[in-house]
Structures are given as C-alpha cells and as structure tokens.
Structure 1
Amino acid sequence: MPSKDALRELQLRLANRLQAARERPREAGWLAVECAQLGLLLPLAQAGEIHAARQVAPVPHAKPWMVGVANLRGQLNAVVDLSQFLHLRDMATQAAPRSGAQLVMLNPSLRVNAAILVDRLAGLRDSEQLERLPASDEPRPGFAGPSWRDPQGRVWQELDLAALAQDPQFLDVAA
C-alpha cells in the first residue's frame, strides 16, 4: 500500500522537522494545515503531536463539531473538527472521515486535552517565508491572528491555539 507508506513517511518527516524547528530559535514558526481549503497557521509552540485521524469514539449529546474522543498516547482527548467549528464546512458533511485527515493535539502546556481535526498537513512555515498582510476591519474571533501571504500568493490565517483553547464556544461542547 504505497499511499499508507507515503503518508507514514510524510508524518515522520514532518515530526522530525517539527522537532528540529522547536529546537531552533526563530522569530515565528507555524505548522501549516488546511481545513476546507483554507490555509491555517498553527504556532509551533502551541501545537502538539500529530496523529492519523482514526478511531475517534463519538460522544453523545455533543455539538456536531465535537466529533468525539480519541486515545492519543494513553490520554483521552476531545476531538474538534476545526473546519466545522470555524463554519467552513456544512455540519451535514461530517459523517465520513476525510481522506488524509489528521489530528493535531494542542500542546500539553495549554492544559486542555484536545486535538483538532484538520483536512491536510501542509508543512512548516516561518516569518521569513511569508509576508504579513495589513489587518482587516472585519470582525474576527479572539483566536484569529494576522493573515500572511506566501510567495505563491496563497493567504494563510494564523490561529492562536492558546486563545482558542480558552474560547467559551470551544469549551462549550454540550448540544
């Protein structure tokens, strides 16, 4: 199964680069992910381990974006479908797991046992690779950081995972 091997190899490369990036001092560093084709930047200092999105046990009476819990390294973590939480994807499309979906745990220092479900990993980014865009006047949630543009012209939205982990809507999972 070449696709499984390729996915494992990608996960291993990203994990090694993530560890190396954490050990190197940088101005800013992010894990780039995609949710419903939107590019998101997750701060490396706030992101935790990456796991394949499998064996998520559903939780009754939870909001639709709270897809369940997963046992990750012996610890139960709430799993939030980030694209649904951000209203990027219709709640009805959640039923089947998406191909290539990954779980990104929140860093244990945030003291929230949670992982976010993302559609795809897109590698690592740093501020040297990106141009910060001027702030917009649009209302944005408190966990939305600045927007950035890469050399190919793609816009990336930074998310503050620490602020997300304390957001009242994120913490209110009961239906």
Structure 2
Amino acid sequence: MSLRALSDQPFELLRELERRSLAALAEGAGASAGEEWIGIAVRLGPERFVVPRDQVREVLPVPTSLTRVPGARSWLRGIANLRGQLLALTDLKALFGAGTASKERQARVLVVNHREVPAGLIVDEVIGFRRFPTSGYQPTAPATLIRAEQYLDGAYRDGGDTWPVFDLYALVEHERFQQAAE
C-alpha cells in the first residue's frame, strides 16, 4: 500500500511505517549478522585500543570531585558518586605504570558493565565507535607500550592500523586489580 494513500489515516500510516521499518531491520540484520565487530576506541597515552561495547555501560567525563581512599594504591584515584552510584575510579595508565591519565578535557571514565565489580576506568580519550570486519580479527595481540598484554583479547586490522582488543572483564576480575590496598 502507498504511503500517500494513508496520508489522511494517521494511525494506519504509523502502522505501515512500523511494519516497513521492522521488515527492513530484519532484512538488514540477516544480511550483516556476523560480518562486523563494533568496539569503543580509546586512547591511553600514545596507544589506541578498542574495548567490546557490551563491556561498557556508559562513558562519562572525569568527575571534578573525588574522595581519596586512605591506604589505597596510587592508581585508585578515588570514589565518586556517578548518577547515584558510588564507583571506584581507576587510572588505567597509572595501573600499568605509564604515568597518569590526562587532565585534559577529553579524558573520560568508562563505566564497566560488570555485575559483580562496579568500576570506572579513566582513559585519556574516547575516540568513538569503531567497526571492523570480523575477517580482520587476529587472535594474537601486538605488544603494547603499557604492557597490558594479559588483558588483551586479540586485535583487529583496519587498513594499516592494528587495534588491540582490551578485555575490561579480564582486567576487573584480575587479582592485581582487586588488590587496591597498599
């Protein structure tokens, strides 16, 4: 049925638009399922990584007000109230002994989407979503300057660039991360 024919029937027009949208969505999902992987690109110092998008609940600016935790390691920057939830904020660069996170405006907190370990990870910059063809996946991640290899889950190639996949769950579940007391 033509949309013009439904122009004087607003509810029928909406139903037809919904039907067409759902059909197009189902058709597109079937054609592209499994063909690409989408991650969130971040920068730590000079290095770029991608994190699985399902491991990040939200991305927020670094709060200006943090409460230091007495006796905590220097990489645990403090506790912050983010949207009503108390969250421990970890400086990823400091955790890996690569300095401290940028104090620039582009620094962000990745709120980890983990049921048991509430954590916020401070990165120098969130670049945005990156799409990679699944055929570009390499099971072996390259060596990194910040020595994060044990938390990497392969890498994706995009043209001449290699993007290591940083597994946030592997990090927050690791004993080193959970031992924040000095």
Contact 2:141 2:164 in 1 (8 A): no
Partner SS, residue 127 of structure 1:
strand
Give the equivalent residue in structure 2 for 1:149. 157
1:100 to 2:106 alignment: yes
Contact 1:30 1:126 in 2 (8 A): yes
**What is the RMSD computed on CA atoms of the aligned residues?**
2.6
Give the equivalent residue in structure 1 for 2:171. 164
1:64–1:140 CA distance, 2 compared to 1 (3 A): closer
Output the CA distance in 2 between the equivalents of 1:77 and 1:174. 16
1:35 Cα offset (Å): 0.7
Runs of at least 4 residues off by over 3 Å: 24-27, 136-142
1:148 Cα offset (Å): 2.3
Aligned residue-pair number: 146
Which of structures 1 and 2 has the larger relative contact order (alpha carbons within 8 angstroms, sep 6+)? Answer: 1
1:37 Cα offset (Å): 1.7
Give structure 2 stretches of 5+ with no counterpart.
Answer: 1-28
Q: TM-score, normalised by structure 1?
A: 0.72
Output the CA distance in 2 between the equivalents of 1:29 and 1:136. 17
1:32–1:137 CA distance, 2 compared to 1 (3 A): closer
Identity between Structure 1 and Structure 2 (%): 28
Q: Which has the larger radius of gyration?
A: 2
Partner SS, residue 133 of structure 2:
coil
Q: TM-score, normalised by structure 2?
A: 0.69
Give the equivalent residue in structure 2 for 1:74. 84
Q: Return the match for 1:132 from 112, 137, 153.
A: 137
Contact 1:101 1:117 in 2 (8 A): yes
